[in-house]
């Protein structure tokens, strides 16, 4: 049997502690399946005295993770600290520069510096694995990097943030407000004390940018994503969607078009009978549409200590199974130097159409005015209706419109025109409608 693979783990939070525990509990099975033992010989974390439910008394403790990356007697540096800059970035770069394999769950780091880190890993002939960075325990990175080789991917989309999916599910199931569901998510540990990164869509955008690069062979473009979170979704939107046969999900969508690549993150209405509509709670789902395989949908836990640790462990096992001289899988699916410059797609018609909710004064001619403004912008309406639960005379009324395929800029122009009429109350709600192939 080959010599043991020596691991250094930076970050002993929920995921790091779970990983160390699993490596200890499964050490015999892993040695057999990988052909060599896997041993944690060094760790780094902020608080040495904290009880994490694991025994690290026999391993070398480093106060500074960068120092561990530079000097510890290890083969693999595992980064589980998080953050796009600072210690995480410095430590990963130091480990790769030294010729160590690296495993990370840090999507923010990869979204910011992934191409440069990939180039460094390839220069040094080492692996940079990051399955846990996107969709937790779902093996979507391996699928795109390896399993779908030879396929031309046309579209990747999915539910990539468990916090948002939990909130939207609870709003629908229990009829609660966004604010109430967010508080419950924070109480259960699904949302941070400052939840902005999740609920405003940034977390999903980082993950989507990585999947876009793997799917289309372009450089990572995390700052070139249309971004909209779920903070403006109301219980009225949830109810209206249900009446129309839809559920609301926060989706990340990337697709190849004739003019470039389109990346977007936003609340989306999906048909109730589609598979992705059934994905509830903190569960994640990622769909990949390709020319040979068709559509592949992967569903599973998107966060949590064990789910994320499982993905990290899979990356470590891949390294343990590799042998000197073996051809390395390119970090981002193709060599970093061969990645194409990202080219943003021109605005095009959205095939699924749009849901538009307007609160208007109860006055004669409003329906006709709205229909006229839509027609002036060449927007074809599938339906226009007054919400059945708000028909009290003299009170502001809710009007729901569903469009056929149209361009977003046309929708925005039509809404601006409606605003100028003076009968609109409050801000309009505009939500894209997606119609997956499984619908």
Do 268 and 188 lie in one domain? The reply is: yes
Give CA–CA dist 198/379, Å, rounded. Answer: 33
Residue 343 in any domain: the answer is: no
Q: pLDDT exceeding 90 applies to what percent of the chain?
A: 84
The secondary element (H helix, E strand) that includes residue 355 is: strand 354-360
Query: Is the pLDDT score of 150 beyond 80?
Result: yes
CATH of the domain at 388: 3.30.70.260
Residue 216 in any domain: the answer is: yes
Give CA–CA dist 132/211, Å, rounded. Answer: 13
Do 328 and 360 lie in one domain? The reply is: no
Do 111 and 218 lie in one domain? The reply is: no
Whole-model pTM over 0.75: yes
Burial zone of 29 (CB within 10 Å; 0-12 exposed, 13-18 middle, 19+ buried):
exposed
Q: Is 6 a catalytic residue?
A: no
Do 315 and 376 lie in one domain? The reply is: no
Do 37 and 184 lie in one domain? The reply is: no
pLDDT tens digits, one per residue of 97-140: 999 999 999 999 999 999 999 999 999 999 999 999 999 889 99
Q: Write out the two tokens for 82.
A: 């998080």
CATH of the domain at 23: 3.40.50.720
Do 297 and 311 lie in one domain? The reply is: no
Give CA–CA dist 81/109, Å, rounded. Answer: 10
Residue 320 in any domain: the answer is: yes
Do 259 and 235 lie in one domain? The reply is: yes
Q: Write out the two tokens for 210.
A: 């990585």
Residue 376: CB atoms within 10 Å: 12
Over range 214-233, report the average pLDDT: 96
Over range 303-318, report the average pLDDT: 92
Q: Tell me the CA distances in angstroms from 393 to 362, 364, 387, 398, one per residue in order.
A: 7, 12, 13, 12
CATH of the domain at 160: 3.30.360.10
* Low-confidence winner among 7-11, 49-53, 159-163, 331-335 (lowest mean pLDDT): 49-53
Q: Write out the two tokens for 281.
A: 């709670």
Active-site choice (6, 107, 183, 207) = 207
Do 163 and 290 lie in one domain? The reply is: yes
Over range 386-403, report the average pLDDT: 76
Question: Average pLDDT over the chain, rounded to whole?
Answer: 93
Query: Is the pLDDT score of 419 beyond 90?
Result: yes
Total structural domains within the chain: 3
Confidence category of residue 349, pLDDT binned at 50, 70, 90: confident
Decide if 228 contacts 288 (C-beta within 8 A).
Answer: no
What is residue 437's predicted lDDT score, i.e. its pLDDT? 58
Query: Is the pLDDT score of 352 beyond 90?
Result: no
Do 40 and 88 lie in one domain? The reply is: yes
Q: Which of 292, 313, 338 is the last residue of a domain?
A: 338
Orientation angle between helical segments 14-25 and 305-321, nearest 10 degrees = 50
Confidence category of residue 391, pLDDT binned at 50, 70, 90: low
Contacts of the segment 405-409: beta carbons below 8 A, 24+ positions apart: 405/349, 405/350, 405/351, 405/352, 405/353, 406/349, 406/350, 406/353, 406/354, 406/378, 406/379, 406/380, 407/347, 407/348, 407/349, 407/350, 408/347, 408/350, 408/354, 409/347
Do 132 and 215 lie in one domain? The reply is: no
SS3 114: helix
Q: Write out the two tokens for 237.
A: 């939107």
DSSP string, 400-430: EEEE-SEEHHHHHHHHHHHHTTS-B-S--EE
Give CA–CA dist 25/23, Å, rounded. Answer: 6
pLDDT tens digits, one per residue of 59-74: 999 999 999 999 999 9
**Range of the structural domain that residue 147 is part of:** 143-301
Q: Which of 338, 359, 385 is the last residue of a domain?
A: 338
Residue 438 in any domain: the answer is: no
What is residue 439's predicted lDDT score, i.e. its pLDDT? 42
- φ, ψ for residue 405 (rounded to 5)? -55, 130
Confidence category of residue 387, pLDDT binned at 50, 70, 90: low
Residue 368 in any domain: the answer is: yes
Give CA–CA dist 245/168, Å, rounded. Answer: 16
pLDDT tens digits, one per residue of 11-40: 999 999 999 999 999 999 999 999 999 999
Query: Is the pLDDT score of 365 beyond 80?
Result: yes
Do 111 and 232 lie in one domain? The reply is: no
pLDDT tens digits, one per residue of 242-287: 999 999 999 999 999 999 999 999 999 999 999 999 999 999 999 9
Decide if 264 contacts 253 (C-beta within 8 A).
Answer: yes
Residue 269: CB atoms within 10 Å: 26
Do 129 and 225 lie in one domain? The reply is: no
Give CA–CA dist 178/185, Å, rounded. Answer: 10
Residue 439 in any domain: the answer is: no
Query: Is the pLDDT score of 293 beyond 90?
Result: yes
């Amino acid at each position: 049997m080959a010599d043991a693979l020596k691991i250094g783990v930076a970050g002993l939070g929920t995921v790091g502690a779970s990983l160390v525990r699993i490596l200890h509990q499964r050490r015999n099975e892993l040695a057999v399946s990988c052909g060599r033992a896997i041993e944690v010989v060094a760790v780094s974390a902020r608080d040495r005295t904290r009880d994490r439910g694991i025994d690290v008394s026999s391993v070398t403790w480093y106060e500074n993770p960068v120092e561990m990356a530079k000097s510890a007697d290890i083969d693999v540096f595992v980064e589980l600290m998080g953050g796009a800059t600072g210690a995480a970035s410095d430590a990963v770069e130091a480990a790769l520069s030294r010729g160590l394999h690296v495993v990370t769950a840090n999507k923010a780091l990869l979204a910011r510096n992934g191409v440069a880190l990939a180039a460094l890993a390839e220069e040094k002939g080492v692996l940079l694995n990051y399955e846990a960075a996107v969709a937790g325990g779902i093996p979507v990175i391996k699928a795109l990097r390896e399993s779908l080789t030879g396929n031309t991917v046309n579209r990747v989309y999915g539910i990539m943030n468990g916090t948002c999916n939990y909130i939207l599910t609870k709003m629908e199931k229990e009829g609660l407000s966004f604010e109430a569901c967010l508080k419950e998510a924070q109480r259960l540990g699904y949302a941070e004390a400052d939840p902005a990164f999740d609920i405003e869509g940034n977390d999903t955008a980082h993950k989507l940018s990585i999947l876009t690069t793997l799917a289309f062979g372009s450089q990572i473009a995390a700052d070139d994503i249309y971004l909209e979170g779920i903070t403006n979704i109301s219980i009225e939107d949830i109810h209206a969607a249900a009446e129309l046969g839809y559920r609301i999900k926060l989706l990340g969508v990337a697709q190849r078009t004739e003019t470039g690549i389109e990346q977007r993150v936003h609340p989306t209405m999906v048909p109730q009978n589609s598979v992705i509509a059934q994905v509830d709670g903190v569960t994640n789902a990622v769909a990949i549409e390709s020319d040979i395989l068709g559509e592949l949908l992967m569903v599973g836990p998107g966060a949590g200590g064990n789910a994320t640790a499982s993905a990290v462990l899979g990356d470590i096992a891949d390294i343990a199974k590799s042998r000197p001289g073996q051809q390395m899988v390119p970090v981002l699916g193709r060599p970093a130097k061969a990645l194409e410059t990202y080219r943003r797609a021109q605005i095009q018609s959205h095939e699924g159409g749009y849901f538009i909710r307007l609160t208007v004064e109860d006055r004669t001619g409003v329906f006709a005015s709205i229909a006229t403004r839509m027609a002036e912008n060449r927007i074809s309406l599938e339906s226009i209706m007054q919400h059945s639960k708000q028909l009290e005379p003299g009170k502001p009324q809710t009007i729901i419109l569903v469009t056929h395929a149209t361009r977003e800029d046309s929708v925005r122009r039509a809404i601006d025109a409606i605003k100028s009429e003076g009968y609109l109350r409050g801000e309009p709600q505009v939500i894209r409608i997606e119609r997956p192939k499984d619908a």
